[in-house]
């Protein structure tokens, strides 16, 4: 499903599937549930790329042939696991590399600070230097969520000479110290940071954890970066802060509706760097996750399913 770049179709891993297994690749994205059901009705197994296509109970119930649903990654909030179990559908996951999202976080931070993309565009248009870049050394990096990704981002910030602070609901001073990071309150993080980057797992507890109050604490020169999940940030509050000049800008890889429709107001928001949810979209990740997906199919056909969620 959702093989936008036709990257999955070119991998050799599918050649190792059992004889007579037929594989079909879909390069477009369907938003209408009835159209999606009609497309998937003949298939015994479906491989979903992350959360690009939701599989709620209302969809799963209309797919009587479906026996195996595979998601890249070991969690997928867009799949109703309880409904799948009740319907006898086995749901399996795959591995994903831990570093690509951290790398993209820094691509966004560096673009916000150094404006390399804008400088390239300006140079090609005949301008010689447009605007002034910002220093990272000595600036404060606020990391919201200090899990595997947050720790990687924090380590790179420290390597740039930044002061790194962190917060999450259950973060302890001891855990922060083990990463060389100062643990502060949520309010202090937003007040002190020149760059705030989000690395929380999305759940009802983290929905809109960054809202009007938090954005209101930020410096007017500070930047917000989100490579996690869009609903963690109150989108209306973020747009208001950007248009009001109350923060310096934002780097966003995740969006409320994906693919982003032309009508999405974020496309017209000032001082933004936008990417189309590519934090996990790397060659290495695709090779690993789709190879695991092929393994899941073979294991299921041998009555020995692996990485069951």
Hey, where are the domains in the chain? 8-97+282-301, 100-274
Query: How would residue 137 be classed by pLDDT, with cut points 50, 70 and 90?
Result: very high
The pLDDT of 6-11, averaged and rounded, is: 92
3-state secondary structure of 231: helix
Q: Is 255 a catalytic residue?
A: no
Range list of H helices, the chain: 33-40, 57-60, 81-86, 100-114, 116-124, 148-159, 173-178, 186-192, 212-217, 235-243, 283-301
Separation CA 57–CA 41 (nearest Å)? 15
Q: Which of 50, 52, 115, 229 is labelled catalytic?
A: 229
Residue 160 has pLDDT above 90, yes or no: yes
Query: How would residue 130 be classed by pLDDT, with cut points 50, 70 and 90?
Result: confident
| Chain segment 74-122, per-residue pLDDT in tens | 999 999 999 999 999 999 999 999 899 999 999 999 999 999 999 999 9
Q: What is the pLDDT of residue 183?
A: 98
Q: Which of 52, 192, 277, 295 is labelled catalytic?
A: 277
Topology at the third CATH level for domain 100-274: Rossmann fold (3.40.50)
Residue 68 has pLDDT above 90, yes or no: yes
| Chain segment 247-304, per-residue pLDDT in tens | 999 999 999 999 999 999 999 999 999 999 999 999 999 999 999 999 999 999 999 9
Query: How would residue 131 be classed by pLDDT, with cut points 50, 70 and 90?
Result: confident
Q: Which of 182, 188, 212, 258 is labelled catalytic?
A: 258
Average pLDDT of the chain? 96
Percent of the chain with pLDDT over 70: 100
Tokens 């993309």 correspond to what residue? Answer: 117
Q: Is 277 a catalytic residue?
A: yes
Q: What is the pTM of this model?
A: 0.92
| Chain segment 221-244, per-residue pLDDT in tens | 999 999 999 999 999 999 999 999
Q: What is the pLDDT of residue 83?
A: 98
Q: What is the pLDDT of residue 269?
A: 98
Q: Beta partners for 55?
A: 79
Q: Which of 207, 201, 213, 227 is nearest to 281 (CA)?
A: 227
Q: Is 61 a catalytic residue?
A: no
- Give the CA-trace dihedral at 294, 300, 96, 69, to 10 degrees: 100
The pLDDT of 194-219, averaged and rounded, is: 96
The pLDDT of 189-213, averaged and rounded, is: 96
Asked if the domains at 8-97+282-301 and 100-274 fall in one CATH topology, the answer is: yes
Topology at the third CATH level for domain 8-97+282-301: Rossmann fold (3.40.50)
């Amino acid at each position: 499903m959702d093989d936008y770049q036709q990257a999955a179709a070119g991998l050799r891993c599918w050649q190792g599937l059992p004889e007579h297994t037929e594989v079909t690749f879909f390069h477009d994205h369907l938003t209408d549930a009835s159209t999606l059901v009609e497309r998937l009705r003949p298939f015994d197994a479906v491989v979903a790329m992350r959360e690009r296509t939701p599989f709620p109970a209302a969809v799963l119930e209309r797919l009587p042939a479906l026996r195996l649903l595979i998601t890249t990654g070991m969690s997928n909030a867009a799949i109703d696991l309880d409904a799948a179990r009740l319907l006898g559908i086995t749901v399996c996951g795959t591995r994903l590399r831990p570093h690509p999202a951290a790398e993209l976080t820094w691509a966004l931070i560096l673009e916000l600070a150094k404006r390399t993309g804008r400088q390239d565009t300006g140079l090609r248009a005949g301008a010689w230097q447009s605007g002034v870049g910002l220093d990272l050394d000595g600036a404060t990096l606020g990391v919201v969520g200090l899990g595997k990704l947050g720790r990687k981002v924090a380590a790179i910030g420290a390597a740039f000479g930044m002061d790194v602070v962190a917060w999450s609901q259950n973060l302890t001073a001891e855990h922060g110290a083990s990463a060389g990071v100062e643990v502060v309150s949520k309010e202090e993080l937003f007040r002190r940071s020149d760059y705030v980057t989000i690395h929380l797992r999305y759940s009802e507890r983290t929905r809109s954890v960054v809202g009007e109050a938090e954005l209101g604490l930020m410096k007017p020169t500070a930047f917000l970066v989100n490579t996690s999940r869009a609903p963690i940030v109150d989108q209306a509050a973020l747009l208001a802060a950007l248009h009001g000049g109350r923060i310096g800008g934002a780097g966003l890889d995740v969006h409320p509706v994906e693919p982003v429709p032309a009508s999405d107001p974020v496309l017209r928001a000032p001082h933004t760097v936008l990417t189309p949810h590519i934090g996990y979209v790397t060659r290495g990740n695709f090779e690993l996750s789709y190879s695991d997906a092929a393994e899941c199919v073979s294991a299921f056909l041998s009555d020995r399913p692996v990485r069951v969620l």
